[in-house]
């Protein structure tokens, strides 16, 4: 992955590369190979919320009631 300067930029790029909606737990796993491998669940949750607040992700819920973060499509299609 390209040299990205912030943890949130890295996480967003990892979610985009993953290509499907992510939970906090999955996002935490995506961070294990990052320059911030010690980022834990709470930090990852805050980063996902910040990315959603910037309009880069949409927050939804899965059937079990967990928060799920979807990429915002630039083509007008949902990422399911």
Task: Kindly report, residue by residue over 12-59, the tens digit of the pLDDT.
Answer: 999 999 999 999 999 999 999 999 999 999 999 999 999 999 999 999
Residue pair 51/57 in contact (Cβ under 8 Å)? The answer is yes
Domains of the chain, first to last: 7-71 (1.10.10.10)
What confidence score (pLDDT) does residue 3 get? 63
Burial of 50 (0-12, 13-18, 19+ CB in 10 A): middle
Q: Please write the tens of the pLDDT for every residue from 24-34.
A: 999 999 999 99
pTM here is 0.84
């Amino acid at each position: 992955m390209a040299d990205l300067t912030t943890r949130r930029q890295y996480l967003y790029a990892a979610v985009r590369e993953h290509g499907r909606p992510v939970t906090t737990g999955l996002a935490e796993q995506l961070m294990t190979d990052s320059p911030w491998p010690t980022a834990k669940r709470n930090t990852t949750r805050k980063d996902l919320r910040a990315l959603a607040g910037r309009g880069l992700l949409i927050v939804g819920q899965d059937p079990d009631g967990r928060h799920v973060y979807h990429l915002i499509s630039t083509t007008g299609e949902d990422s399911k």
